[in-house]
Chains A and B, each alone.
Chain A
């Protein structure tokens, strides 16, 4: 069972809606990630938070806005999305983001987003 919890599991939203995806981990990890995965493709990194600060933004459009309220929580705020943004959004966490000891990245079950 994953220890990274994501809600909601499914979300359908219109192109003018504002919604949020939520992620929580209780493993004491200090790095948290958002990935986007399209069907039959590997996950693509979107954002990395390290010690509650945004450390990597992979040139993601501003209609996606991440937020890290504390070390256990990670949100992804969605606004004015396009149908091509429909995908599985995966949250993940690891001990830290430096990878000095081969830190494993643990993934949640994902949130299925459909933009109509």
Chain B
């Protein structure tokens, strides 16, 4: 069964600094990978997704992620953090033929002024 690992439940980043959230996946077949963001008291919003096209995926709000098969990773980055980036971020994986999403535990991002 597919799974994802997100390390470090809380991530603090200074405003203007690089945001890096790590995601490693486990899948027996080529995976589909997603990053979702959840702002306080809201639902989940799709940031970006990888579905076997380009390995570098650009998403909304200046975020991007790179699929690295050799490292089984799909890390999320943003060059310069904004205060508005404070939120919970979830990495998720699904497999072809199965839309059952497996979520990581999430990263709570805090942006320090």
A residues within 8 Å of B by Cβ?
Answer: 2, 4, 6, 31, 40-43, 45, 48, 56, 90, 94, 96-110, 112
Contact check: which of A2, A98, A101, A103 meets B43 at CB < 8 Å? A2
Main secondary structure on chain B at its contact with chain A? strand
Contact A104 B43, beta carbon cutoff 8 Å? no
- Least CB distance from B55 to A in Å reads 14
**B residues near A105, Cβ cutoff 8 Å:** 34, 99, 101
Complex contact A98–B98 (CB within 8 A): yes
Give the interface size bracket for B toward A.
20 to 34
DSSP majority for the A interface? loop
Q: Check: B68 CB closer than 8 A to any chain A CB.
A: no
CB distance from A59 to the nearest CB of B (A): 14
